Structure formats: C-alpha cells, structure tokens
Chains A and B, each alone.
Chain A
C-alpha cells in the first residue's frame, strides 16, 4: 500500500491516539515539574495610638489571581520527585544512615507513601500473575475432561468474574466478606473469633485483594488455555502413550510445551493489567492498608485541593515502571521481527 493511502487510512486513529495518549504523557511530564503557587504574603503596617506594628497576612485575592493566571504553578524542577510523598530521597538517606537492621530500614521505607504503594503494586503483579496461570490451566484441563454438553454452561459461568465491571465485582465480594455478610460471618464461626474481620488487618486485606485479583483474571487464562487445548496434536499424544507415558507425563511433556506460547501471551497481558490495579482498592475500601500506584494518583487528584504536580510526578514514575516491565517483551518482539525479515 502506498505511503499516502496508508496515511489517510490511519490518520483518524493516529490523531486520536496522539492527542489523547501521547499528549497526556507529555502533559504529565510537564506538570510534574511544577507546583501550585504558594500563598501571596503581604506585610502591612498597622499604626495605632501605641506605635506601629508590622503584620504579615495572606493576600487571598492576589493568591487567587496568581493561580488563575498561571494554573500550572511555579517551576519546581525535580523537587516534587524527591519530596516525601514521592521518592523521598532525604528520608531514605536518613533512614539508611540510622538503620539498626535491614528489617527496621524496610519498616521505615513502608511508612513512605510511594514505597508502600510500589510494594503493594509489585506484590500484586508478581503474586497474582503466576496464580492466574496455574488456576487457569487447572480449570482448562478440568473443563476439557467434561462431557461436551456441560462445557458451554461452564464457560458461561466462568466468564462472569472477568466480564463484570471490576469495581462491581469487588463490591459484590466486599459485601460478602463484611462481618455481617455471608462469608465474613462464616469465617467468624469457623475460626471461632467474633472479632475476626478481613478489613481490619493489613495482611488480611492484602490477601483479600490477591484473592480478588486471581478470581477476576483466572477466566481469561482459562479461556485462552482451553482454546489451546483444542489444538494439541493428537498424534503426539498418541505417540507419547505408546511410549508408555503416564497421564501426568503427557500433560507435563506434551500439553504444557504446546501451551507455552499462550502462557507467554497471558503473562504479558496480566503483567500489564495487574500493574495498574486500582478499582479493587476503591471497591474493597482498602486504602488504609493497601494502596497501589494508580490509587495514589487517584487520591492526589481527588483531595480537597487537587495536587496536579504530585499526581503527575507519580504518573511519570508509574509510566517508567510500565516501561521497565515491557522492555523484555519489546526486545523479544524486535528480535523476532528482524529474524522474520532476514
């Protein structure tokens, strides 16, 4: 296709992506370098019968006018990046200097909002993703063994956790694990502890969110693996059987290698999706014990005073995280592409 025709076909789509994906990335980078103007202070001299006193006051009108005129605020360089609510370099250095043990240092690290969010986001990404793969494969193998008639309805119900809006899915579970909800109450009876609450302790909240993550994403892995199972070469399986392979050996040495490319695809999708974990934290109201990078940005934007600079700095750091996560994939694709051309 000539360049010119190609350009006309792709132009609308490209414009949309340029304006609303590429430009916002530029916009967050710019915004992250600025902070809101400080309040304008004026010094007034009050002269009374007992002499004159000097007083410093906030000039509200001037402050409002200044903020109106320059909504971006004043240039702050990398100041926002290194302050306490982001990379917290000063606090970090101090904690490292005065550390008594590594554990104590890590404990101090977890008091800093950015590192706490980063820790949760990474744990969520790297715990949920492998569990999704394993559970998805197990369900796919199970469903593959069902009579054909039952497979349709099973797939129907399996799709529900994935298709339903993440916020709604997490709310539905949140109400069930409430101390007065069905699961919460049952757990209290099981553990014989009337004060047991999944919402109270940070560890249990993290666990709940991980369980939600696996529940939400397992259907995706299941469907992809299930489709892959339909294409496992029958001859290879037969040959393995003639060679005396047990059922487990057939799964291990024929089926799983066949599904490997699919596992790579699921892993890639899951890493991208789990890294931006956000809605479950809103749904489970877990922000006290677990925040993710996305949630941090959301709360900067939601506060009484919208902290655009702060949100933008966290956004840039998040985008860097995504870039690091994607680099191996991009390098691999680039090599494949070159190999195909060569």
Chain B
C-alpha cells in the first residue's frame, strides 16, 4: 500500500492523538499523583485550603522542615509492621506461582494432547469454575476450615489460591501446548521414550515462553487477591492487600491515612517494575486466548 493512501487528514490526526494523550493521562496520572502525595504530610495531600498545597507542600515544610518526607513510609513499614505483610505476600505469591505452574503444565499438556471428548468437557468445566466469584468459594471454605483448624495459616491460603488459579492456568497452557508441534514429542516416543520422558526431555526445554507468560498472570492473581487472603488469613499472617484495607478502619486519625497511602505506593511499585520488564509477555498473554478464539 502506498504511503499516500495511509496518510490521514490533519484534524483526524490531532483528534486521535489528543484522545490517546487524554487516555494516557487518565491512566497514569492517579498513580503519579499518589506517589507524589505519599511524600507529603496528610495536611497537604488532603488539603482543606487548596489542592495546590499537595504540589508545593507548605504544611510538609512547616512540620518537617523539608519539602518531602518519608514519614508515611517509616510509619507504615516499621510502626505498623507492614514489612511482615510484604514478607507474607512474598511467600504466598512465590509458592502459588510455583505450584500452579507445576500442576498447570502437566494438566495443560495432557489436555492439549488428548483427542478425547472428555478433554473438551474438562476445559468447559474449567471455564465455569473460572467464572465463579471467589467470595462464593470462600464462604464454602470458612466453616470447614474453622472446624478442622486449617483457618488462618499461609499454606491454606496458598493451596486455595492455587486451586482458584488452575482453570485459567489450564486454559492458557493448553493453548500454548497446542502450538508446540505434536511430532516433537511423538517422535521421541517412537525412539522409545515413555510419555513422561518425552514431556521431560522434549517438551520442557521448549515450553518456557508459554510458562513465563502464564506465570505472570498467576503472579498477578495471587498478588492482587483480596477476597481469599482477607477472609482466610489470621491477623499475623495477613498479606499486603488486606492489611491496606485494615489501615482504613482508623482513617480519621491524623497520619494514619498517610500510612495507607505509603503502603499503597509500596504495593504498586513491584507491579510497575513487572510491567516494565514483561510488557511484551503480558500483551501476548492477554491476546493468546483471544486470537485463538
């Protein structure tokens, strides 16, 4: 196609570029604003007088002597013990991703290679399970877990998150394995490998791109979860997100809101880095399911 045919009228270019710029501001500004505000005192971030105070920070200068302060972060991480919640989140997320991927690769591989009708039905059941609101499942767990003394421990939350994660992991990895040619593992089996050996020596070395993409989404599900971790973990085992929600209980106390703001910024930072490093994989993962239909 010629370049001339692609060229668009000037007003249209301006209009569409303006629209994209507006969207980028809408998408990014809240985070930039909150990050900036987390370095101020509450009197500035929630200014009764003038919202411009959040930019210049007169109260911050008056109270701390500098235009920026780390008070919120010190308060959240040390005084309120947010570091412990960060640690818990780390444990929960790492364990959930590892176990989900291990189970998911085995299951997804089997679903991709089985031509029987029940494989289709399993995928359909997984789709229905994927649609279940997490909180309905949680209300099923609570009473039995209380009775069997399983409630409140990290491993319980991990295994529950793994299970909730499975339908999605199976779907995603199943479609990745469909893209790996059948001949690859079948020729290994002709050479005398068992099905599992073929999987171990032929499939595992080539499956990593798909596994990394799926792993990213498992990570996000575990990291972003609120329903399961808020209901199934005891106070001392809480992860970041429920802890942030509990900061809000005592909102009106001066200073406490800034703890929550600092905690929110701290919890957003890893996600920021994640998008920066894995942008390509996230985009390909979002579209993988769609393009296949």
Contacts and interface: CB of A to CB of B under 8 A. Distances in A.
A206 interface: no
B188 interface: no
A333 B126 CA distance: 13
Contacts of A330: 124, 127-128
Interface in B222-280: 223-224, 226-227, 231, 241, 244-245, 248, 257, 260-261, 264, 267-268, 271-272, 274-276, 279
A158 B30 contact: no
A64 interface: no
Nearest to B286: A223
B244 A294 contact: no
B144 A224 contact: no
Interface string A72-93: 1000000000000000000000
A71 B12 contact: no
Given A16-B166, A159-B279, A9 B136 contact: no
A288 interface: no
Given A17-B166, A165-B226, A301-B231, 10 more contacts: A5-B195, A14-B107, A20-B164, A160-B275, A181-B45, A219-B27, A224-B287, A238-B1, A301-B138, A326-B131
A237 B30 CA distance: 38
A185 to B, nearest CB: 4
A16 B159 contact: yes
Contacts of A127: none
Contacts of B196: 5, 8
B226 A282 contact: yes
A51 B93 CA distance: 69
A204 interface: no
A23 B140 CA distance: 8
Given A167-B244, A276-B134, A312 B20 contact: no
Interface in A294-334: 294, 297-298, 300-301, 306, 308, 311-312, 314-315, 318-319, 322-323, 325-326, 329-330, 333-334
Interface string B210-225: 0000000000100110
Nearest to A168: B264
A278 B30 contact: no
Interface of A: 1, 3, 5-6, 8-10, 12-14, 16-17, 19-28, 31, 71-72, 138-139, 141-143, 145-146, 152, 154-161, 163-169, 171-173, 175-176, 178, 180-182, 185-186, 215, 219-220, 223-224, 227-228, 231, 234, 237-238, 241, 247, 261-262, 265-266, 272, 275-276, 278-279, 282-283, 285, 293-294, 297-298, 300-301, 306, 308, 311-312, 314-315, 318-319, 322-323, 325-326, 329-330, 333-334, 337
A21 B275 contact: no
Contacts of A169: 30
Q: Chain B binding site: helix, strand, loop or mixed by DSSP?
A: helix
Q: Chain A binding site: helix, strand, loop or mixed by DSSP?
A: helix
Contact of B110 (A1, A159, A223, A314): A1
B170 interface: yes
A171 B24 contact: no
Interface residues of B, number: 105
Contacts of A13: 103-104, 106-107, 166, 169-170
Contacts of A176: 30, 33-34
Given A9-B106, A227-B291, A247-B12, A297 B140 contact: no
B113 interface: yes
B226 A167 contact: yes
From A6, A168, A265, A266, name the one whose CB has the most chain B CB atoms within 10 angstroms: A168
Nearest to B128: A326
A314 B199 CA distance: 44
14 contacts: A6-B114, A10-B122, A16-B103, A20-B164, A24-B141, A27-B143, A159-B279, A163-B220, A219-B27, A224-B287, A294-B133, A311-B142, A319-B132, A333-B124
